[in-house]
A and B are shown apart, each in its own frame.
Chain A
Amino acid sequence: MKRFAGIFWSLLFLAVPVLGVAVFAVAPSIDVWLPKDVSEHGSQIDGLFYFILALTGVVFIATELLLFWFIWKYDESIAKGPATYIHGSHTLEVVWTIIPAVVLLFLAIYQMNTWADVKMRRPVMAPTVEVVARQFEWRLRYPGRDGQLGTPDDLFLVNDLHLPVDEDVLVQLKSMDVLHSFFLPNLRVKQDAVPGMKIPVWFKAKETGEYDLVCAELCGWGHYKMKGRVTFVTRPEFDAWLERMYLEQEATQPENGEAMP
């Protein structure tokens, strides 16, 4: 009876690595996994994700199996004689300090280049668009025909972000009120918008298509519905779209020189 308890509890601990691995193995096939990546830098991020997953996966399986095995084997009801009288092992301590230290340090250094690519090596160019977050919408400001942001011919839109594919895009991110976060899951892009700061965000899409723009930093009661869409189109289509939007906007304005009633 006592042995039955030992078997039962060790198997419960064995279930942790078995089911844990099973969940991660099944998840991609039921589409509960990394969403499709359409950015140029995204494969680097996903690669690092898989690298850490593999590394931690090995440690997870090894330590959990060891835990199961010790619980199974050193059950008081079957192990013979008294427990081993030992206070530790200097050699083991050194080994299991130095090896993880080296691995972890390597892991940290290995991340740096990707981080620098995504957040530090900013392309030298004028902003493609200014995104100003506010409760609970994304206000977009494109340079008008003069190609300059902050001039009277700027184009103003809300939530419907269009960007050109296959070229660097520089977004100038601002917030009007509280913190928000500019999250494009399919482009592996996330950056908080902070009132009082102008933060550059850059990326390059590889495919045309329409994707989600999510607010990922709590911004109030309507946080959940601060939803935008980002549409990537070819450069000619983008220019045509910009021109069409510009004409629509200007059509609502009074004729040149005519005073407002």
Chain B
Amino acid sequence: MSTATIPAGAPATLPSKPAPRSRPVAAFLSTYVFSKDHKVIGLQFLFSTLLWFLIGGLLALAVRWQVAWPWSDVPVLGKLFAQEGGQMSPEFYTMLFTMHATVMIFLVIIPILAGAFGNFLIPLMIGADDMAFPTLNMLSYWFMWPAFIAFGASFFVEGGAAAGGWTSYPPLSTNPASSPGSGMGQTLWLVGLTFVGVSSMLGSVNYMTTIILMRAPGMTMFRLPMTIWAMFITAVLQAFALPVLTAAGFMQLGDRMLGTGFFSPEGNVVNNAMVGAGGGQPLLWQHLFWFYSHPAVYIMILPAMGMVSDIMTTFARKPLFGYRPMVYSIAGIAGLGFIVWGHHMFMSGMNPALGITFMVSTIMIALPSAVKTFNWLGTLWGGRIQFTTAMLFAMSFVSMFIIGGLSGIFMAATPVDIFIHDTYFIVAHFHYVLFAGTAMGVWAGIYYWFPKMFGRTMNEFWGKVHFFLTFVFLNGTFFTMHILGAVGFPRRLADAYHYETFHHLQPMNAFMTWCAIGMVASQAIFAVNFFWSMFFGPVAGRNPWNANTLEWTAPSPPGHGNFDFQPVVHRGPYEFSVPGMEKDHLMQTDPPVAMPAVAHPAMAH
């Protein structure tokens, strides 16, 4: 732990403290509740999403219970929903996996990356005192609450929460007669989705403006840390893709409530009930939905990639290998991300010739991902690795992303997809990307930036125990899903063992469920460590990891306005182990020094 030094250029006197407020309640509300400070908003996002992470995890456990031991009484949780003495009904099961995915995607991953880390880190890492639009920023958090309430309340309405899958394909989702969850639950689902969208859009506009306009003097675009590049490109992606989903959501609401017929074909009757005017096309929803939701997959991983790049350079004490290729490959993923949505629809009845186009673009999107992986390996090569908890999580992100990236190629190949489409192979794939990838990246980020958030470091020993258990159990849960998929084991079946092809797979599913239980239980270690360290952890200085980026020049935690001096940037974010220097890192704000000759001048900045 280094001692904090106030860099050169800091004013001799620090700004005086604001005058004490005369109305304590109003002061409390404006400081901690309706705060416009990006750090407070970031932490509000963090706490809310971590709570939903727990709920989403418990939903997943209930799903796993049914898959492993169909129709057996669910322990503990069974009492909560008390159906036939703890046994879950098939409609309850469909609701569980629908809401597990919905919660994890819309209330955890997207808001924890953009909302929590984006908010907290963007102004700090670019040297700004706050976001460009603090009020919009506050609203972006508070617009999550109608969504929290809509999704949360939907569990308690008649028919239960939405049960048409998180993709909500019509006519199952539009016709209330088709499923119990397609009643009020589905309407609330669409309302919740709309509010999540409003929140994301407010965030996106803010992030783009802030990153373009509010960088500190000397902070050129190509001196931005990877986290900021990833957040920036994600914001652009979000801003262009999201309106399509919002529009599609309103169209589905129209079909359900106003009698329009965007998605129901002529004379479509479900369970003797007809809805809407007809004349629509179910595939239209799939196109519109995936036009957003495929880019959303990248919205759910790019920021984690950026954070992992920053963390790995710090703990390898080495410049990032191929900074510009890393930036270009993020941009490449985002660009290609707009023309690959059709790979979700290879079996949908879409013209098979169109499938070929989408196959080519989808397989080619593996290229920028491969370039990123090689550059991460290049970053470790020749480094001096420090095994901190954050570093372990970051390296496991790379290890797991390799699996998730490669397994994607199977589904991208249209002929192979014929067999593995909608089987556990795809379930394995996206859990390797989103849990073993993004969630591990999120943990890396929490352990890494915790000192900046709360001024104290988390316990390293228990952090490593948490990492070890999570890593082992997640592989036990998800890796075996690949071979279940190879058997053709379909997803979303409440009980598949009555099929001759799948009847022998129960023991394997039971093993996976035990691992999943272990994985969720291990998070108790994290929760205790998190809250204990917040109050009793060792006090961290400004820069506990000897990192280079601007947030580490601010106090921990930074006060309102972030910096007690105006940061001026003199170099890129990854100047570690510069030869001939006293210390092994040059912060972005350190005064200019004579730099040594570099092996590849073209790559330096």
Contact = CB atoms under 8 A, between A and B. Distances in A.
Report whether chain A binds chain B.
Answer: yes
Contacts of A67: 377, 380, 395, 398-399, 402
A240 interface: no
A115 B164 contact: no
A100 B363 CA distance: 11
Interface string A29-54: 00111110000000011001100110
Contact of B91 (A82, A112, A197, A221): A221
Greatest chain A CB density within 10 A among B175, B265, B383, B415 is at: B415
B208 interface: no
B355 A119 contact: yes
Interface in A82-99: 82-90, 92-93, 96-97
B600 A76 contact: no
Interface size class of B (residues with CB under 8 A): 35 or more
Contact of A225 (B281, B381, B395, B498): B498
A82 B410 contact: no
A100 B488 contact: no
B419 A188 contact: yes
Interface stretch (A17-25, A160-168, A231-239, A247-255): A17-25
A85 B468 CA distance: 31
Interface stretch (B54-62, B266-274, B289-297): B266-274
A82 B600 contact: no
A177 B264 CA distance: 10
Interface size class of A (residues with CB under 8 A): 35 or more
Interface in A188-207: 188-197, 199
B528 interface: no
B283 A194 contact: yes
A178 B318 contact: no
Contact of B377 (A9, A70, A108, A194): A70
A60 B471 CA distance: 18
Contacts of A188: 418-419
A148 interface: no
Contacts of A193: 349
Contacts of B316: 74, 83
Contact of A107 (B363, B384, B486, B500): B363
Given A35-B501, A214-B490, A79 B384 contact: yes
Nearest to B419: A188
Given A89-B603, A108-B359, A82 B384 contact: yes
A101 B415 CA distance: 20
A75 B271 contact: no
A197 B349 contact: yes
A44 B366 CA distance: 23
Given A82-B577, A82-B579, A194-B282, A218 B178 contact: no
Contacts of A5: 387
A224 B406 contact: no
B377 A45 contact: no
B475 A16 contact: yes
Interface in B377-412: 377-378, 380-387, 392, 395-396, 398-399, 402-403, 406-407, 409-410
A221 B151 CA distance: 20
Nearest to B70: A224
B180 interface: yes
A219 to B, nearest CB: 6
A87 B490 contact: no
Interface in B552-572: none
B418 A83 contact: no
Given A83-B316, A89-B600, A199-B349, A178 B413 contact: no
B72 interface: no
B77 interface: no
A120 to B, nearest CB: 5
Nearest to A68: B399
A172 to B, nearest CB: 13
Contacts of A79: 384-385
Contact of B419 (A85, A190, A222): A190
B516 interface: no
B377 A115 contact: no
Contacts of A225: 90, 495, 498
B363 A104 contact: yes
A196 to B, nearest CB: 3
Contacts of A218: 94, 164-165, 169, 172, 492
B325 A88 contact: yes
B585 to A, nearest CB: 10
A32 B484 contact: yes
A79 B283 CA distance: 57
A107 B409 contact: yes
Greatest chain B CB density within 10 A among A111, A178, A183, A191 is at: A178
A6 B270 CA distance: 61
A209 to B, nearest CB: 11
B281 A196 contact: yes
B378 A20 contact: no
A30 B91 CA distance: 33
A24 to B, nearest CB: 7
A216 interface: yes
Contacts of A216: 347, 421-423, 490
Nearest to A2: B387
B459 interface: no
Nearest to B375: A88
Contacts of B359: 108, 111-112, 115
A74 B415 contact: no
Contacts of B475: 16, 19
A45 B384 contact: no
B179 interface: yes
A87 B487 contact: no
Greatest chain A CB density within 10 A among B384, B396, B495, B602 is at: B384
A83 B577 contact: yes
Given A13-B399, A59-B406, A85 B596 contact: yes
Nearest to A80: B384
Contacts of A23: 479-480, 482-483
A100 B329 CA distance: 14
B413 to A, nearest CB: 5
A219 B494 CA distance: 12
Given A63-B373, A191-B347, A71 B501 contact: no
A230 to B, nearest CB: 11
Given A74-B380, A227-B499, A56 B406 contact: yes
Nearest to A105: B364
Interface in B565-605: 574, 576-579, 584, 596, 598-600, 602-605
A128 interface: no
Contacts of B605: 87
A90 B602 contact: yes
Interface of B: 89-91, 94, 163-165, 169, 171-172, 175, 178-180, 264-266, 268-271, 281-283, 316-325, 347-349, 352-353, 355-356, 359-360, 363-364, 366-367, 370-371, 373-375, 377-378, 380-387, 392, 395-396, 398-399, 402-403, 406-407, 409-410, 413-416, 418-423, 468, 471, 475, 479-480, 482-484, 486-488, 490, 492-496, 498-501, 504-505, 508, 574, 576-579, 584, 596, 598-600, 602-605
Given A33-B487, A82-B384, A111-B416, 7 more contacts: A12-B468, A27-B486, A48-B413, A83-B577, A221-B90, A221-B94, A224-B494
15 contacts: A9-B387, A32-B487, A32-B505, A35-B501, A74-B382, A75-B385, A85-B578, A86-B599, A87-B323, A87-B600, A88-B600, A93-B371, A104-B364, A107-B363, A190-B422
Listed from nearest, the 7 A-B pairs whose CB atoms lie closest are: A196-B265, A84-B382, A221-B91, A88-B322, A119-B352, A185-B488, A83-B577
